[in-house]
Amino acid sequence: MFELTVKSKFSAAHVLCGYPGDCANLHGHTWTVEVKVSGHSLNELGMLVDFKDIKKQLAAIVDQFDHRYLNDLPGFGEAGVNPTAENISYYIFQALAQRVGNIREGVRLKEVSVWESPDAYATYREDF
């Protein structure tokens, strides 16, 4: 099994509604998103997929978060979903999974990790 990892960053603010502490107040992070894709075979160039293809698809999703108030984005605040690292990783996974599958047959999105600080992150993956 081959695995490829790319990272991206965005800056955004959020509020954790109902949280019993400081995170219930407006605050922001420079978020890091780490995406892993996997597959069993390499292409004729010896690559699972081109890094730039994964980065392009990830950027299309992450750009909608950059310099935004996450609670205002569809799928979060009005839907009653707190924009936690866990929920953001799930959202990005759902948005990216099909895009990755369309890049090359046999390549799948393995997991998405979202870091809200250099030492705290959440990961979403679907076990197959």
* 23 belongs to the catalytic site: yes
Q: Which of 3, 27, 67, 78 is catalytic?
A: 67
Q: Which of 3, 14, 17, 23 is catalytic?
A: 23
Q: CA dist 83 to 14, 18, 35, 98, Å? A: 7, 12, 18, 22
* 67 belongs to the catalytic site: yes
Q: Which of 3, 40, 111, 116 is catalytic?
A: 116
- b/e burial code for range 75-114 (CB count within 10 A of at least 16 → b): ebbeeebbbbbebbbbbbbebbbebbeeebeebebbbbbb
Q: Which residues are catalytic?
A: 23, 67, 116
